Amino acid sequence: MKLLKKMFGIILAVIIVIENSSVLGTVKAAETDDRISVSMENGLRAEDLVFTGNPIEVSNTGLFVENVKDAGMLDIRIQFKITDAATDYINLLEICDTSDQSSSSSDVQPTIAVIVSKTGTVFFETGAAREGTDWQTSSGVSNLADGAFHTLHISVSANSLKCQMDAAAEKEIAADGGRNTKKFMTAFFGKTVDGYRDWRSGINAIYIGGLGEGSYFENEAYSNLTGEISELSIMGKAGPVNHAGSGFAAGMFSDAKDNTWLFGGGVETQGRFREIGGVRNYVRQFEEYIRWTKSEKNSDQPLTMQRYMINIGKEGLDAVAFAAKLPEYIKKTDPKAVCYMIGPEDYKKGEEGIAAFKQAVSTILETSLHMKKDTGGGYAVLQMPHAVNDELLAQDVSLYASAAKEVYDEIASVGENGEHMACVDHLAGTEQENFKEKKLTGELLNADGHLEIAKQLAETVYGSSDGFPAITQSWSAERSADLFLKEIPEAVVSGRNLNVTVPRQVQGTKWQYALTICGTVICGTVFENPFVIENLPEDEAYQLTVWSIDGETTAQLSPVEGRIRDHAAAERPNISGELPKKIRKLADETKGSLTWLFMGDSITHGAAHTKGYDSISQLFEKYLKEDLGRADDIVVNTAVSGATTTDAAGRGTYAHIEERMEKYHPDIVSVMLGTNDTINDAYEENLKKIVDKIKEVNKNAIIIFRTPSAAPVGSGYAAKFRGENGAVARMKKVAEANGILFIDQFTTWDQAAAEYPYLMAGNEFYLGDGNIHPGPAGHLSMTLQFIEACGLDTNTRIAEISYPFTYTEEMSAGVPKAEMGEQKDSVTVSKAALQEAYANGTIGDVNVMVTDANGTTYTKHMGLEDETATIGLASNGRYTVSITALVTGSEAKRVTFPEQEILLVKGTQSAADRQAAEEVTEKIRAIGAVSEESLDDAKKKMIKAARAAYDALSEIQKPLVLNTDMKHLMEAEVILDAQEAGAVKAQINLISSFSEMNEGKKEAILTAKAAYKALTKQQKSYISIAVRTVLADAAEALDTYEASLVEAKIHAIGAVVHTAECKKKIETARKAYDALTDIQKQRIPGSVVKILTDAEETLRMLEQAGQEQKITIGNTYASGNYLYRITGDSTAEAAGIQKDSEQVIRIPDTVVFGNKSYRVTSIQSSAFTKKKAAEVTIGKNVEQIGKNAFASCKKLKKTVIKSTKLKEIGNKAFRGCTAMKTITIKSKGIKKIGKHAFQGISKKAVIKVPAKKRKDYTKLLKKAGLNKKIKIK
């Protein structure tokens, strides 16, 4: 059965004309019927209606009924404005069957209505209950009676109501409560439920702007609309054609311990961080629902939480590839169900790929069903593609969905196959504007789209999405770069300086660096490559990270480390420890897939505590597939909430070790247990037993112990984790004794939580949920710690992200004293000074940042145990000290101290020095406020003059200019640089407006080049590589163009004779050549340049001889490489060439000797026999081609005879030219073609002759022995 894509509905364009009135709402229903215009285009639509408390009735509903009676969904969009709200609740719409309404309030009534409150609540009322509805929700817009237009979009199906008001988040209600709304709507869409029925065929009234007279929903608290409806549309849509066999739920959602799901598909099944960030992909959202929300989590036998999900999806994987590898995947993961989602990798192949796709879908379904035949067989789920925006692509999506459904139906109809199969019709389920507008990024699912797909999957295979997890937070991940590169900067020490070079292949227009040394992070921006970081402390270790910036794109190079020792070069950071090195080697060098298995309790399980975001295993999976490119690796999270280390039935991890180790045979195993254990000797023994079992199954498996995470201060959990007999110490002991990698997740968090209790106190925007469970930020923190501890690459997108915490910001009134070092080469800040300046709490962690006059920063962190922070600096400088600190305690508070400037000068400044600095200060302050709008030529001059004046100061004078003034100057320069760079960008972009090279384009290129050259290095950094490439390509094209003009002038010289005209040609060519740039000269071949120099030399010799050359009839003379015999007063014949180096033999129209021109009228016999040329061009004056003239020219492919005077072609003239493919003859006067003139040329050759002479020439050619297979055109 093919998928239904037909849209149901009609358009009712309400065109109501009332004399002397524009108030449409006052018209009686009976007066409107014959004034309604009906269309069948896009669904019922009414536009531009005005209401004063009376609704408009549409009673001509026959076409509407016809088109909604088979719909599976109803899409309603109302754009309305409330101008006067008589009550708190406003009726917007009612659809009903007035002929079948009972007078009894207790009876079910055939009617539905949309009502809103002034405060933004939306009610979808049904005839199931007069007292209210189960489907109501706050829209997220708090005031609908504000006199503005609001847009309400409702999509209602048998299962749920989706509602969105304006730009607020979409709300979904699927409640099945005491008012029986869900049962009523299930029946409305065609399925009889508990006595409710489908009454769509009886619809005879639609009330717009209110309720009908005597409506079932009449209530004193409700009033009809007074206001306007600018647009109303009601559209029936085909509902999803979902299917799940009657045995599916029983088989896959039992309490058996073998309910593993294997998911396959392309980029959308993979669910990349690139599209959805740290939010779970649809596989993991579905996993939470099945493994947590709908599990028996309060049972002593929580096997329902062992419904493990394995995601094989990866970018580029289509059905054909998945089908081919499915047996291998099954062998490796032993699933009970296989789920494949059709994606862009499939449908973008178009019609050409349909046959292979259908075969692959058949293979996937058949292979899945034939799994586990000894235990009842496997299960197969086929997910249709979702809707897309692009109309052409949508056709392919529909084509592939229909093809897949055809295969599915065929296989499901065989025997009992259908009992173990499910089909999820995402296409019909997402064919809504709201989905396409809000839940796609481009044509790929975004985070909300993944959530929607997961819910539809659950509704089909589980039968419900009630209580489906929501994304309840909005974490915005911060990262340091857009791209993360494998390349490293070259860094070599010279004295106390570090010389840094960014590899040429790394594009950039400016560079930033962060150098960590002696606990200080030095950050600067440079505009040159290579660059130098100066005055570093000798023999100290450092780490360097460099960012290359091209326009708005920042690329982070891999970090390097080294020591400040003369001539020492930096290297990639060393990985510490044998196990991390081993893991890194596996990740870097293993060609096939690795299996990473996570064991643990609710901390690793993640589930509800991450609010829709990734848990550690899920985020690590994204890291492996995207950042490391290990797209074939398998990650299995077997952690179960409440798990212990024991072998007790139920939640004992050891008791269910076979469902983990023996089933998946992992290469790397992470174990995090202890949260739910009693911590004693038995806990240690249980850990050892788990280790022994892991090694028994796979002796080469690498084991990682992760300690329990922190808990709120004072909780019983924290107490049992701490101390020499606590879980952390005992786990470490087992790890050290068994060669296990130990990751302490507890201690650092515990210390931080002791000073900052809010981190684990339950605020969702910090680490924990108020109990023991980490939230999104906590799981991110564990993931980053896991990546680093395993020795894996940390220079990646995910390894660099952070979820920023929220703080109450406070400004300190007091200013802490910053102390200068005795040598005037350092600044020290003490925590005591900070505490003295701040009285509203206890100072905790501190960041001290010192900024010099050029914007370079020096930052040092002062931890909880630190008392001071000292930052080494260059003397003879002025520095701005900025300090922020966290305040300990239960409130998340951050304090910022007033900035202060410190002058570090060893010598003394004279009055003249101060005067010079004051003059510069005056110039800077005279600039005033600068903005893009206020920056005119006068201000530009002032900014440039101030910079020049500052740069002219001596090194001892510059520190006398305040940093606040320098900051103002630099901010003004940023605006100036951006504006001047923007003007140059515009000039460069203007080049593209010219389609071909001409004088206008030449002028545009030269102008843009000059403008770009005039920019400073800082200004050039605003011009991206892409824009600079446009200029470079244009400049190269101009160079080629200019060179071609000169080349033409050289070729125009022709034969050199002792004449004024010839001399002028040579001089013109020389002048043009000398005017070229060196680059342009390189574009002219040396052979062409030689023509010019030879001509100059020949002319010089002629002039030196002082006489014209004497020419005699019958003699042969050379002109360049060619030889000519003089045959008469003004005629000559081509006699050959001196060197066989011509690729194209050109017989000219004329040749000049002795200051006289001779027409070339013939080609001498055997003149060019056995030459290497590939082409021959014969001039327009040739009348005769001698015998054997071009015989045996084996490489000759093309001959063009331009002469219209040709009369004779001699015997064997082109005999043996075996490569000849085309001969063009333009003469109409040929009288004779000698014997075998074209014998032996290619049988595929074509001889082109004048149309009118084709018949005559065919006879001549055949008479001459031309092969019959050769075409004559």
- pLDDT greater than 50 at residue 16: no
Q: Which long-range contacts (CB under 8 A, 24 or more apart) does 243-247 make?
A: 243/408, 243/412, 243/418, 243/421, 243/422, 243/423, 243/460, 244/421, 244/422, 244/423, 244/460, 244/461, 244/463, 245/412, 245/418, 245/419, 245/420, 245/421, 245/422, 246/419, 247/416, 247/419, 247/420
Give me the domains of the chain, ranges plus CATH numbers.
7-237 (2.60.120.200), 243-461 (3.40.50.1110), 483-563 (2.60.40.10), 593-800 (3.40.50.1110), 808-904 (2.60.40.10), 1110-1272 (3.80.10.10)
Cross-strand pairs, 1133: 1125, 1162
Q: What is the CA radius of gyration of the chain?
A: 42
- pLDDT greater than 50 at residue 530: yes
Distances in Å between the Cα of 91 and the Cα atoms of 61, 101, 122, 209 are 20, 19, 10, 6
**HSE-CB of 102 using CA atoms within 13 angstroms:** 11
- pLDDT greater than 60 at residue 34: no
Q: Strand runs (DSSP E) across 1055-1189, as ranges?
A: 1116-1119, 1122-1126, 1131-1137, 1144-1147, 1150-1153, 1156-1163, 1175-1178, 1184-1185
989-1009: average pLDDT? 91
pLDDT category at 19 given cuts 50, 70, 90 is: very low
DSSP type of residue 417: G
Per-residue pLDDT at 767: 84
Which has more pLDDT, 1054 or 618?
Answer: 618
Per-residue pLDDT at 33: 34
952-965: average pLDDT? 92
Residue 672 exposed, middle or buried by CB count within 10 Å (0-12, 13-18, 19+): buried
Q: Which residues make Cβ contacts (< 8 Å) with residue 1061, sequence separation at least 6?
A: none
82-107: average pLDDT? 85
Q: What is the mean pLDDT of the chain?
A: 89
What percent of the chain stands above pLDDT 70? 95
- The answer to whether the peptide bond before residue 530 is cis (omega within 30 degrees of 0) is yes
Rounded-to-integer distance, Cα 1062 and Cα 1056, Å: 6
Please report, in angstroms and rounded to a whole number, the separation of the first and last CA atoms in the chain.
57
* Of 645, 745, 648, the residue nearest 689 (C-alpha): 645
- pLDDT greater than 50 at residue 960: yes
What percent of the chain stands above pLDDT 90? 71
Cross-strand pairs, 52: 226
Condensed to tens digits (0 to 9), the pLDDT of residues 740-799 reads 999 999 998 888 988 998 888 766 668 887 788 998 999 999 999 999 999 999 999 999
Contact call for residues 267 and 344 (beta carbons, < 8 A)? yes
Q: Which residues make Cβ contacts (< 8 Å) with residue 59, sequence separation at least 6?
A: 29, 33, 204, 205, 206
- pLDDT greater than 70 at residue 70: yes
678-704: average pLDDT? 95
- pLDDT greater than 90 at residue 661: no
Tracing tokens 């991390």 back to the chain, one arrives at 580
295-312: average pLDDT? 78
Cross-strand pairs, 341: 383
Q: Find the range with the poorest average confidence among 266-275, 712-721, 1231-1240.
A: 712-721
- pLDDT greater than 80 at residue 1185: yes
pLDDT category at 15 given cuts 50, 70, 90 is: very low
pLDDT category at 473 given cuts 50, 70, 90 is: confident
Name the pTM for this structure: 0.75
Highest mean pLDDT among 111-120, 161-170, 1144-1153: 111-120
Per-residue pLDDT at 655: 81
Per-residue pLDDT at 763: 64
pLDDT category at 7 given cuts 50, 70, 90 is: very low
Rounded-to-integer distance, Cα 1233 and Cα 1251, Å: 18
Which has more pLDDT, 1097 or 947?
Answer: 947
Per-residue pLDDT at 28: 30
- pLDDT greater than 90 at residue 725: yes
- pLDDT greater than 60 at residue 826: yes
* Of 961, 984, 968, the residue nearest 931 (C-alpha): 968
Condensed to tens digits (0 to 9), the pLDDT of residues 106-124 reads 688 999 999 999 999 999 9
Cross-strand pairs, 704: 670, 741
Contact call for residues 114 and 135 (beta carbons, < 8 A)? no
Per-residue pLDDT at 105: 58
Rounded-to-integer distance, Cα 393 and Cα 399, Å: 10
